Amino acid sequence: MSDGRALARVYLEQQRLLGTDAVTLPPAGLAASPLPDLAPPASRPPAVKTTDLPPAGLAYDPPARDLFSADPLQQVTTLRGVAELVAPCTRCRLCEARTHTVPGEGAEDARLVCVGEGPGRTEDQTGRPFVGQAGELLTKILAAIGLAREQVYICNVVKCRPPQNRTPLYDEIAACVPYLFRQIEILAPRVILAMGNTAAQTLLDTKQSLGALRGKVHRFRGIPLIVTYHPAALLRNPNWKKPTWDDVRIAHCLLDG
């Protein structure tokens, strides 16, 4: 692919994710960079104080667990129980080509839950979320706020890989999202980090763009929710390193606040 076409692809992806007017194309060399450095900036900015938190955003409060429902998902009380329901699931067409379901993994007592879009090829092969380059980036992002990957819970909106890593369709998300909602209900985290358009729009029940949703403290069932870029998008666009760092600092403040 020519450099011009590669840049155009980056530009269109930025437009899709940002939904904003001003987009800066990265230099050609950066666009091809396989693994941008996501370490905190050399001159590390001060931590966000609770008094400096961004304004409140959206609040989404879908119905919580129904104790009297016959739905097995409503009866499970552990993350393992959710994973056991996900494993044989055929609620949507994404079951047809999957190798493994990818329910999520992490600490049962996680204070931070990171939510992405869906499993990729490596995740489908291993049954684990965020492995490969995007996973390495996520580990760096977490390390920047002093968290080991094992201390958080990492999962996706859909638990089976969409073909060719396409964006999950509306009906697929609708079929799968009860698993995610139940996981969050069981975990009861202190903060949710929604990474990318699909996670942000699903957890906030909105069509607003990622660009419009960043920089605010939203709420999912009362839990503070911060929106940032998906690590896979950062792999393509190192220019988003600083905004991502800004988002993560806000989440860090909320975790410790």
Binding site for ligand SF4 (CB under 6 A): 86, 89-92, 94-95, 101, 158-160, 172, 175-176
Tokens of 21: 């007017």
Tokens of 249: 């600092």
**For residues 69 and 90, which CB has a smaller minimum distance to ligand SF4 in the complex?**
90
CB of 168 to ligand SF4, least distance (A): 7
Contacting residues for 80 by C-beta, under 8 A, at least 6 apart: none
CB of 172 to ligand SF4, least distance (A): 6
**For residues 119 and 238, which CB has a smaller minimum distance to ligand SF4 in the complex?**
119
CB of 165 to ligand SF4, least distance (A): 14
Sheet holding 56-60, edge to edge: 56-60, 217-220, 223-228, 191-195, 112-116, 153-156, 105-106
CB of 94 to ligand SF4, least distance (A): 4
The alpha-helical segments, DSSP class H, found in the chain are 3-18, 28-31, 72-75, 79-86, 121-126, 133-143, 170-187, 197-204, 210-213, 231-236, 241-256
CB of 83 to ligand SF4, least distance (A): 10
* Residue 70 region by backbone torsions, left for phi larger than 0, else alpha for psi between -120 and 50, else beta: alpha
**For residues 86 and 113, which CB has a smaller minimum distance to ligand SF4 in the complex?**
86
Greatest alpha-carbon span in the chain:
59
**For residues 98 and 111, which CB has a smaller minimum distance to ligand SF4 in the complex?**
98
**For residues 53 and 95, which CB has a smaller minimum distance to ligand SF4 in the complex?**
95
